[in-house]
Amino acid sequence: GAGDTFAGGFVGRLAETGDLSFEGMHRALLAGTVAASFNVEAFSAARLRDLRREELDARGRRLEKIAGWTWNGGLVPQR
């Protein structure tokens, strides 16, 4: 469910960046939150199958505005 999706986004971000600093944890929390927010839109993982990167980034920017957090690059760091 949403908790598993949150954990996947959170741990995936940490694994990808290797950044365990406060800022790295902050960005991982955002990644998990954004990923989980899509999971609750449909039954099971149906919504995640069709998810596009642009949608993740748009949702991240919306969260940034609402919560005053910095999205800065989405779930996967830009190389």
Answer whether residue 53 is part of any domain.
yes
Domain extent at residue 42: 2-67
Query: Is residue 79 in a domain?
Result: no
What does pTM read for this prediction?
Answer: 0.76
What is the average pLDDT across 50-64? 88
28 lies in some domain: yes
Inter-residue contact 35 to 6 (CB < 8 Å): yes
Alpha helices by DSSP H, listed for 1-79, are 2-17, 22-39, 46-49, 53-67
pLDDT tens track for 4-55:
999 999 999 899 999 999 889 988 998 999 999 999 988 877 888 888 889 9
Residue 50 lies inside a defined structural domain of this protein: yes
